[in-house]
Amino acid sequence: MKVLRRNDADYADKLRQLAEPSSLFDPGIEERARGIITRVAAEGDVALAEFAERFDGAHISHNHLAITPAEMFSASIKADKTLRDAVAAASKNIAAFAKKGRRKDWSTKNSHGATVGEKFDPFHRVGIYIPGGTAPLVSTCLMTITLAKEAGCEEIVVCTPPRRDGSVDPAILFAATQAGATEIYKVGGAQAIAAMALGTETIHPVQKVFGPGNAFVVAAKRLLFGRVAIDLLPGPSEVLILADDSANPKYIAADMLAQAEHGSGHERMWLVTTSGRILSGVEKELARQLEDCRRREFITRALENDGWLIEVIDLDHGIKLVNELAPEHCELMLKNTKSAVAGIRTAGALFVGAMSPTVLGDYVAGPSHTLPTGGAGRSFAGLTVDQFQRRTSIVEYRQESLKKALPVVQKFAELEGLDAHGRSAEIRLGLKAPAVAAPKAAKKKAAVKKSASLNGSVGPKASSKGAASSVAKTKRR
């Protein structure tokens, strides 16, 4: 854990360290992800099976990557009432929130009286990555697949890492099936992103890839952008807590530990506070509460790698730092949260007040917990249902509206030297094509040729003939 107080001699230098690129932009990770993508593109299912053994320790035949109906049925049988109730309760809020965010078709009249508008269609086939590894994220099934279903996607492909015995966690299978998955495959990591984007013998390619993952998953998404549509760059978890002297150190420590326990070691946790007393209190609470955590090893590694306790001069400086870091989750434990809510513009999600821990957003509040990390929040928003919809613009002109538009079309066609553009509008109104002016280069060439034919005695051939005649006369003399 790194502690930074506002009176420290190296305060400015350490603040600059905070803005260093995250693991999302590690060139070594990117190069390894590129190698995985190349193998999947060349070898398909065989490469997927080999990577499952190498990275997950699971021996899976390349012919058995797909989850079978029998496996889905078995997962359903194993789902007890508490799991069923939890999935149903969370799904209710997530689906209700998603319904509010769906884009609706619209149309209006433009200045020419033509009809213009947009229509929104669900992607037909989407791919969703569900992390597994040390912490099978059952909640992520609901936070992603539910949105695809609410958007109306017909084919929802899910990839998730296998366990060592070659199976998939039954709770993930149950939640994914309940949320609306139509296909599930035992494939994890960067190779899963490559398979969904490029296709293999078993996994047909999708139109868009969604879902959070580790640094390799995010690197693969970046590398494949353009070959397939990508949602955003949700990598290892982050939380920043902005607090004043009214905050409770116990709450802050608990929330930092919760995000540190994911297990990749690349998680990032920040406390930004105006109070030295709160900073000291959180430092003590972290040490005390860590003793009760089952995943102490993962948490300790994450806190040592990128855990920060930072004292700032005032709340304005704190808000400025938040906007520079663009955290995935930002909790506001302040006497007055209104100015912070208005001033923070880059966080993936805001959790307002002491009774709004990040864990509510992780599981049950309603908005998707798939959010940008690694500073990507400066440009990307979190996952929303409209990202599963494809936008198409619509233009419908009639004769009268085309007449009104014609002068502007003609002017732009003239300015750009694209006469066929203008003609495509003019021909519909029965206008004759104007005489085509010869290009300047052609005019010049024609002028030179005409001049030569009119003045044959001065042309090259005439000059040669004249010179030969003179020589002959000289010889005769």
Q: What does each C-alpha distance from 336 to 243, 247, 317, 355 come to in angstroms?
A: 10, 11, 16, 14
Residues composing the chain:
477
First-to-last C-alpha distance (Å) of the chain: 112
CA 360 to chain centre: 23
Q: What angle do CA 135, 347, 265 make, to 5 degrees?
A: 30
**Residue 233: exposed, middle, or buried by beta-carbon count in 10 A (0-12, 13-18, 19+)?**
buried
Residue type, 298: F
- DSSP of 396-422, one letter per residue? E--HHHHHHHHHHHHHHHHHHT-HHHH
**Residue 139: exposed, middle, or buried by beta-carbon count in 10 A (0-12, 13-18, 19+)?**
buried
Place of tokens 């928003």: 381
**Residue 403: exposed, middle, or buried by beta-carbon count in 10 A (0-12, 13-18, 19+)?**
middle
Q: What does each C-alpha distance from 389 to 116, 121, 231 come to in angstroms?
A: 19, 5, 11
Place of tokens 């490029």: 198
Among candidate residues 266, 267, 311, 329, the one labeled active-site is 329
- DSSP of 123-184, one letter per residue? -SEEEEE---TTS--HHHHHHHHHHHHHHT-SEEEEEE---TTS---HHHHHHHHHHT-SEE
Is 329 one of the catalytic residues?
yes
Q: With contact defined as beta carbons under 8 Å apart, do 29 and 23 qualify?
A: yes
Written as six digits, the tokens of 190 are 């960067």
The dihedrals phi and psi of 351, each to the nearest 5 degrees, come to -120, 110
Among candidate residues 30, 328, 331, 426, the one labeled active-site is 328
> Cα–Cα distance between 101 and 199 in angstroms, integer?
30
Helix (H, G, I), strand (E, B) or coil at 242: strand
Among 333, 327, 351, smallest CA distance to 243 is for 333
Is 204 one of the catalytic residues?
no
Written as six digits, the tokens of 36 are 């995985």
* Catalytically active residues, by annotation: 328-329
